Chain A
Amino acid sequence: MADELVTLTIEGVPVSVPKGTTIIEAAKQAGILIPHYCYHPSLSSPAVCRMCLVDVEKQPKVLPSCVTTVAEGQVVHVHSEKARQARQGVLEFLLINHPLDCPICDQAGECELQDFVFQEGRSGTRYADYAKRFNPVEDFGPDILYVANRCILCTRCVRFMEEVALEPVIEVCERGDRAYIGITEEQKLDHAWAGNVVDLCPVGSLISKDFLHKARAWDLDKTASVCTGCSQGCNLMVDSRDDVVVRLRPRANLDVNRHFICDTGRNNYRWMNRGDRVEAPLVRQDGRLRATDWDTALEALSGLVKGAGEVVVLVSGRASTEALGWLARLVDGKRVTAAVRVPVGDEAPLPGVANLALRKERAPNGDGARLAGYHADWNTAVAATTAAALTIVLDAELSDAEAGKLNQGQAVVVLATVEDDRLDRAALVLPVSTMAEENGSYLNRDQRVQRFLQVRSAPGMAQPAWWVAAGAWQQLGPGRTAPTTAAEAFARLGETIPALGGMTYAEIGLTGRVLDGAAVGGAR
């Protein structure tokens, strides 16, 4: 179908959209949200909730805007008396059996039923004399509870499992006001992407056991970020309260993960709250690590780099591209063996979405590391530490054997988030922030640069790793000036990594940008 445009008026606003667009989508372009429950842009539209009914001039009945396509010259009213009354009717019907659970319901504060009732519902009930129907709470699977009483039967969960996960293990059962979402003993809700039904549920009917009664939605700070679970790079919203990360949710990105994240990524936040952190720069004197200031520490680091010929660099797959780029720049000119640690696991696709899976490469920035020159095989690099003059470790997880190998080397510098007393001969232990404590970026498997924002404050004197590397780099040459912000650190990566030349944070925004000439759908 050619891009034939249709012009219509919604709430007095003229809108031009491609032919075939639904009224609900066209309304978004007019800046108007038509209240709805069962509609979702990543699912089929069954038009069952009846919330999105709009008043279209010259039509005898109100029409469901989620399945009615635009017509030339249509005049649509979302807030006319007729449409508002239709919505108020639906809200009243939903509330008659919905329990007054707000005080104990996790969804409060981010509940679409609360929101629309507050906005347009009746102020009092007309159903007070009758009992509400009761269904018991059901355990649907590893992380999901179904509070049947709260269910409004929008069927988003059923459609997600059927159409997107392709594992239809839940389905509406019974008929009429006895209906509920049923599951059987044979198949629980344990699909690798099942947790998305909790986000999709407009109310507090499907809830996460992990998040149960943990925090109130209005206490949460919400920060845009990127998942660190694998190379897919799903966009996240990180929810934290008082600097403690309590929940991860998907952030919509139609080009990467649409509206979804996998359960592995969803659960991957506890490490962000670890307390066993290095908090001050530590320099070894007389066999003991002593706390010092950054100036002293950076001077010691630049000194070690200056005097080294062979350098091994071992980095975590979670390190930001900024950190990786500036660290590589610090040891530029040396004989460098640089490797990135990338754990592997089984792939778990979300079949209903193109190019979306929990990837085998279980690190977010393997591609960023490889772009920045970290090409060596990990085991080879670890073996090379015994002969190297200097080994720099950036937050990499080491096995006992690997730590042992490092202890046989000459000088070891650790840019550490967590303490590791196995490296008992490290010359310097410098505290760095995790990706949750800094602004930075990753490069996903499709060569998309994506920003993540700072969620919480770094502990003690910890600084971003790019700051540490650039600070030492500055001391090793005349006229060098280290970047002072993450934005600057990123913008100047192009000075050593041509593929990133000319890119800025402002231009990438929060949806990311694919590198020019990059092939989509990499092998990892």
Chain B
Amino acid sequence: MGYPHPSHPKETVVLSKYFGDEAARSFDGWVQRGGYQALKQALAMTPDAIIEEVKASGLRGRGGAGFPTGLKWSFMPKASGKPHYLCCNADESEPGTFKDREIMRWTPHALIEGCAITAYAIGAERGYIYIRGEFTEAIRIMQAALDEAYAQGALGSDAFGSGRRIELIIHRGAGAYICGEETALMNSIEGKRGNPRIKPPFPAAVGLFGMPTTINNVETLAAVPHILTRGAAWYKALCLSNPKSTGTKLFSVCGQVMKPGNYEITMGFPMKDLIYDLAGGMRPGRGLKAVIPGGSSVAIMTAAEAESALCDYEGIAEKGSSLGSAGFIVIDDSADLVYEIYRLARFYAHESCAQCTNCREGTAWTVKVLERILKGEGKPTDLDLLMDLAENMTGKTICPLSDSCALPVVSGIKKFRADFDRYLAGAKSPALAGV
């Protein structure tokens, strides 16, 4: 199994404090490390007070959308009389992202505690933890931790003697990136194809099994106990740039960099330092060419843009890209960028659920055009065609999967035109020889 690196001094270690510490996995180990105090504290507060605290902290959804978490919780109805549900989105399938797996396999009780507090705050007695089917190790560890939590009375019909019922159930996915979309996730739990739903209605009104539901990402939920024990003000103060981006974020740095891994930094941290300092910079003899900062569903950044950006929602948006899930893919000058864009398009075409015409056909067509270009058979009109297809795949569908396919393609053609021109002049990719 892969072990995380020791923390770098410039990291702000909150969620990742016990990554690599096997003893943190057990209930007792977690309690020794201060765990479950937050849950006890929460159960003595009113749900509204918890929601206010989380609102005040400025916590935003860490799965990719960046929606203010406290605000999302406040959408749950107050006296509907219907059962409420919490869904923990542990489907982590965004290329470049590998933070949630670490949270689950090193600090499972952190997630359990975050889920329990959230469930209580939104009036849910039951929460489903949707873990992608491939995360076999994380599932085993989470299930063992859940069993312990029940045995120790943190979960069940009378959580920590509060009289409140809090149940958490693991639901295993089976190989579909689209189930990370919150409404598709709900359909998947319901035993259906993972098709995203039309919004409105929103999950807080009509969600899982038609009931009011809140869906949150693993990293978001793991932050909740810290906000309660250390206070919203503490979390809010973790801010190096824009006050709308607070707290810490796990950046999953991967690709062509010396020290790939998860780096926990305060929002607003300089991206240059993340790449060259924390992650050890480029391999010998290599220069930075591009960065895809938010998981692959965002615009590609040039080296210049990356080296001058600040790591928060607004800072990356200023450079024309998005923070997203912070699946931070580093690309150096040895890479075949056109091939990588093609391979990403193949990813989206494979994962399209097939509902919307534009996505179902557009992603596959994009792959075909890129493949032809990589074989040296591209036509001069192919780049215009790709831009046109991208236009027809943007803002036209139920969910943004097709938009996500379009972003790397459009930004790649706009910012790295020379790479494409090389192929249009007749170069052939060795990766596709024999395909």
Contacts and interface: CB of A to CB of B under 8 A. Distances in A.
Any A–B CB pair closer than 8 Å = yes
A134 interface: no
Given A48-B398, A97-B361, A130-B368, A176 B355 contact: no
A398 interface: no
Contacts of A97: 361
A176 B392 CA distance: 17
Contact of B361 (A46, A60, A177): A177
B343 interface: no
Given A93-B392, A175-B354, A50 B361 contact: no
B356 A50 contact: yes
A62 B392 CA distance: 11
A152 B358 CA distance: 12
A386 B358 CA distance: 74
A53 interface: yes
Contacts of A61: 395-396
Contacts of A53: 396
Interface in A12-67: 46-51, 53, 60-62, 64, 67
B397 interface: yes
A389 interface: no
A179 B361 CA distance: 11
Given A86-B392, A171-B193, A179-B354, 18 more contacts: A47-B398, A48-B356, A48-B398, A50-B357, A50-B397, A93-B365, A93-B392, A94-B361, A96-B365, A97-B361, A129-B372, A153-B357, A175-B176, A176-B349, A176-B350, A176-B363, A177-B352, A177-B361
Nearest to B367: A177
Contacts of A49: 356-357
Nearest to B395: A61
Interface string B357-391: 11011111100100010000000000001000001
Q: Interface majority SS on A: helix, strand, loop or mixed? A: loop
Q: How many residues of B sit at the interface, in one of the four size bands?
A: 20 to 34
Contacts of A174: 354
Interface in B339-358: 349-358
19 contacts: A48-B356, A48-B398, A49-B356, A50-B356, A50-B358, A86-B396, A92-B392, A93-B365, A93-B392, A153-B354, A153-B355, A175-B353, A176-B351, A176-B360, A177-B352, A177-B354, A177-B360, A177-B361, A177-B363
A182 to B, nearest CB: 11
A90 B358 contact: yes
Contacts of A86: 392, 396
Nearest to A91: B357
B433 interface: no
A127 interface: yes
Nearest to A153: B354
A126 interface: yes
B1 interface: no
B44 interface: no
Contacts of B372: 129
B198 interface: yes
Given A94-B361, A97-B361, A176-B360, A46 B354 contact: no
Interface string A175-196: 1111100000000000000000
